[in-house]
Amino acid sequence: MPYASQLMSRPIADLDGEVIGSLSEIFAQQIGDISHPKIVAIEAKKGSRSLYISIHDVVALIAPAIALNKRKKDIRPYKPGENDLYLIRDVLDKQIIDTNGVRVVRVNDLEITRVENDFFIANVDTSSSGLLRRLGLSAISKRLPSKGKRGTESGIISWEDVELLSGDQPMRLKVPGEKLAELHPADLAEILSDLSRQEGRDIIESLDIETLADTLEEVEPDFQVSLLEGMDDERVADVLEEMEPDEAADLLAELPEDRSQELLELMEDEEAEDVRKLLSYPVDTAGGLMTTEYITIPPDITAEQAMAILREQGEDAEVYYYIYVLDSGEHLIGVLSLRELVIAQPQTKISDIMVKRVVTVHLEDSQDECAQSVAKYDLVAIPVVDDDKVLHGIVTADDAIDKIIPTAWKKRLPRLYH
Amino acid sequence: MNAIRLFWKRLKPYRTRLALLLAVVGPGIITANVDNDAAGITSYSVAGGNYGYSLLWMMPLVLITLIIVQEMSARLGIVTGKGLADLIRESLGVRLTTLILSLLVIVNLANTVSEFAGVAASMEIFGVSKFISVPLAAAGVWLLVFKGNYKSIERIFLIASSIYLAYIVSGILAEPDWLEVGKAVITPSFDFSFGYVMMFITIIGTTISPWMQFYQQASIVDKGIKVEDYRYEIIDVVVGSIFAVVVAGFILIACAATVHEKGITIETAQDAAMALGPVAGKYAQTLFAIGLLNASIFSAAILPLSTSYSVCEAFGWESSLSRDIKDAKIFFVIYTTLIVLGASIILLPIKSLIQAMMASQTLNGILLPIILIVMLHLINDRRLMGDFTMSRWFNILVWITAIFLILLAITLMILSISPGLFTS
């Protein structure tokens, strides 16, 4: 298959065989539902003069000399519009996001394919053999053992799995992120950590509040702060409301006092109240780690009634495997697993089936103690109580273990300089 | 109590401004500190020790050039949010990128060699053989990056590098003839001998080294400094540059006033340590050795790392450990090779470690004009820089520097072929 780099600098000759210039730019457009951009024009450059030629005037594009079907004087210069991609200026040699392999890669070449009489950009070549080809050393690359694999391993990425970075995008892609929004937030976070902060900020600008909140939860607090810099306070407050209260509290704790107070003012009272409470505990204690979103029921209702409450509250709860039973004074008197609730007879009283010896941690217990209890009793979450056994929140297993076993991508090289 | 709170509130605009400044400050000052690396210290010592005050007049010129160049790299980083290698690849295509980066790798390998030479020289003062100190340092540096927390270790290095402030004190205590020093600063002199021209290039190459441009820009991008904070970054750059050149100047003065006065030629690290005599007395050697060791290891860690990052950035190879070691294997290979090669070359029978260190800085001076021209090309690209392109006067100044350096490099080459050409 031909490559964009091979077309570069090839002579362009008109109907009379006169050389107008050499190819210096390729314009492409995404048309209709076809996910691959179609080549619509080329630029011929001679000295400082340049001429944009529509693809309709080209007889043979993939040829040692590109032939036109018009005389030079008859050519009506092509006018690039807002939707035109400048393949050489904006794509070749630039960084792109490979949404399939979840990584940021550099474009070494663009593979062109012919479908009937049209030319499309089929794949993006990020491989080392693409690099060697550009250096005029393709002889070496042919001798290299071919892995015979396609996909991320080979470095050939279908255009369908490519997202351009916003800085280099034409108008059409000003609302990017279609492909990005479909990624798992953890993957999105990984891509953000691959990009420079400025590029990262551009991407998060384009995400909707919900995706942004989910993604930020996957990122280290100090990196969160740098991503949120420059975003207006209203939007940050919206994102904080959307985040789990414990994550929001962690983020706010990283910000300067003035700013975090301002943001709390902007948040809705209910959410702000939860976050304020969490902020008052030291970060590495059960109080600092816990979240306030969980399901509680009174002891004197039936299993059937409990299920009804579950349907109502379940939406917001971070963990719904456990249902905590509180008396009228908010004291934790029992716990029930989701399974126990589901298999119970509808008319059974909760107080008859709940487990009364509840494993808990105290507000001031350390993260280590939380992690150990979670591991010892095989829990998904552990309730946090004060001296009077009043329930204040729950610490989920992932938060408890998080700082002891860091998530995989935290092991990335230290950010080099700061 | 209320009055205090009110006062604190009223200070808010200033507090914000100070906070902004502190948030931005860093890359320039750190770069300046790393600038006085093993080879830098050695070069200034040799310049003072062998040529007395006669090279002092370069310092103000070097300072101005350093500020302009570092400001360029800061501006490129802030406005584009991209590293220098990144910009080179995106603007100049594959071939030129390969050429420039290959040169950078070679020169940086030479610099890495000189950092390990610094380790060897400083430990020899303590009587430790280089066959023990260098492999240990190499292994330590390698582990540091992959196992350690670079960020906190960097601070230790930075604080330790203030040992070189001792040179300022000792420069004063050596009671140089200040009238003569002042005269030397404003009196240009030049000598067409091979040694002098090489010294000249070396001083420029060590103060404005090519890899520092990659390093500072990366550190600014990494910090995510925004265009609005641009003017604060200039303060950072200017303060850092002045600090670097003042320390360099005092090393030169200290060596000129002590070593040169006695008519000794600097051949070993012990000779250079003598310059610290006035302040540290018999502890001079120890102080010098610790300072040199610190500077050497600090740079030996940063240089291979910065080089590997630049190469991977330019060619789009994975440079993080976000997934598996095998995904970033090119990064590992480059990084490890630089350290292993850098350390092994020093173990070869080399007569003078100081000569080895100086040679790398001469290479810096030869690569510098190429990097400068590339930076000029980038910074004048309106599509890239918008309204932040360089003014015409700055352009002219940088061009003069680049052309001057190229002429010097050519002179050096001619002199190396026929030494007496300009003097006879």
Which residue among A103, A108, A418 sits closest to B219, beta carbon to beta carbon? A418
- Over residues A317-360, the pLDDT tens digits come to 777 788 999 998 889 999 998 888 889 999 999 989 999 899 99
CATH of residue B383: 1.20.1740.10
Q: Which residue has the higher pLDDT, B260 or A350?
A: A350
For the cut 60, the answer to whether the pLDDT of residue B276 exceeds it is: yes
Say if residue B323's pLDDT is above 50. no
Q: Are residues A234 and A85 in the same domain?
A: no
pTM for the whole structure: 0.77
Nearest to A135 among B90, B94, B323 (CB): B94
pLDDT one-digit tens code per residue, B89-110: 998 888 899 999 999 999 999 9
Closest CA to B266 of B199, B170, B362, B366: B199
Residue A99 confidence (pLDDT)? 80
What is the domain extent for residue B193? Answer: 25-417
Interface contact A230, partner B, CB < 8 A: yes
Which residues on A lie below 8 Å from B306 (Cβ)?
A: 416
Residue B115 lies in a domain: yes
Q: Is B226 on the interface with A (CB under 8 A)?
A: yes
In a domain, B5, yes or no: no
Residue B111 resides in a domain: yes
A414 → chain B, closest CA residue? B150
| Interface membership of B306 toward A (CB under 8 Å) | yes
CA distance linking residue A242 with residue A127, whole number of Å? 40
Please tell me which residue, A417 or B60, carries the higher pLDDT value. Answer: B60
Q: Are residues A161 and A203 in the same domain?
A: no
Inspect the interface and report whether the beta carbons of A107 and B226 lie closer than 8 Å.
no
Indicate if A23 and A91 belong to the same structural domain: yes
Higher pLDDT: B181 or A181? It is B181
Question: Does residue A36 fall inside a structural domain?
Answer: yes
pLDDT of residue A271: 83
Q: Residue A204 belongs to what domain range?
A: 199-280
The total domain count for chain B is: 1
Tell whether A308 is covered by a domain: yes
Does A333 share its domain with A229? no
Determine the residue among B94, B153, B222 to mutate to test chain A binding: the one whose Cβ has the most chain A Cβ atoms within 10 Å: B94
| Domains held by chain A: number | 3
**pLDDT tens, B336-381?**
999 999 999 988 887 677 777 778 888 888 888 889 899 989 988 8
Identify the residue among A129, A219, A417 best suited for mutation to test binding to B, counting B beta carbons within 10 A and taking the highest: A417
Q: Which of A358, A342, A353, A337 is nearest to A301 (CA)?
A: A353
Highest mean pLDDT among A13-17, B33-37, B101-105: B101-105
**Same domain? A336 vs A385:** yes
Q: What pLDDT band is residue B190 in, cutting at 50, 70 and 90?
A: confident
Tell me, yes or no, whether A186 lies in a domain.
no
| pLDDT for res A382 | 92
Residue A375 sits in the same domain as residue A247:
no
What phi and psi, each to the nearest 5 degrees, are found at residue A153? -60, -40
Of A93, A409, A411, the CB nearest to B93: A93
Closest by Cβ to A413, choosing from B219, B226, B321: B321
State how far residue A33 is from chain B, nearest Cα, in angstroms: 30
Q: How far is CA A58 from the centre of its chain?
A: 41
- CATH code at position A356: 3.10.580.10
Q: Is A229 found in the same domain as A98?
A: no
Mutate to test the interface with B, among A97, A166, A416 (most CBs of B within 10 A): A416
Q: Are A161 and A98 in contact (CB under 8 A)?
A: yes
Judge whether A349 lies within some domain.
yes
Q: Do B90 and A135 touch (CB under 8 A)?
A: no
Per-residue pLDDT, B89 = 92
Q: What is the mean pLDDT of residues A161-176?
A: 57
Same domain? A137 vs A216: no
Packing angle between helix B284-315 and helix B329-347, nearest 10 degrees? 150
Query: Considering the domain boundaries, does residue B9 fall inside one?
Result: no
What is the predicted pLDDT for the residue at A418? 33
Q: Give the chain B residue whose CA is nearest to the CA of A225.
A: B224
Contacting residues for B294 by C-beta, under 8 A, at least 6 apart: B157, B160, B161, B163
pLDDT recorded at residue A166 = 57
pLDDT at A302 over 60: yes
Whichever domain contains A140, its CATH number is 2.30.30.240
Three-class secondary structure assignment of B258-309? HHHCCCCCCCCHHHHHHHHHHHHHHHHHHHHHHHHHHHHHHHHHHHHHHHHH
Chain B residues with CB-CB distance to A140 below 8 A: none
Distances (CA, A) of A12 to A58, A84, A119, B389: 9, 21, 17, 34
Report yes or no on B6 lying in a domain. Answer: no
Lowest pLDDT segment from A160-174, A286-300, B298-312: A160-174
Range with lowest mean pLDDT among A274-288, A325-339, A365-379, B22-36: B22-36
Does A378 lie in the same domain as A310? yes
Whether the CB of A362 is below 8 Å from some CB of chain B: the reply is no
B17 close to A (CB below 8 A):
no
Judgement on whether residues A348 and A205 belong to the same structural domain of the protein: no
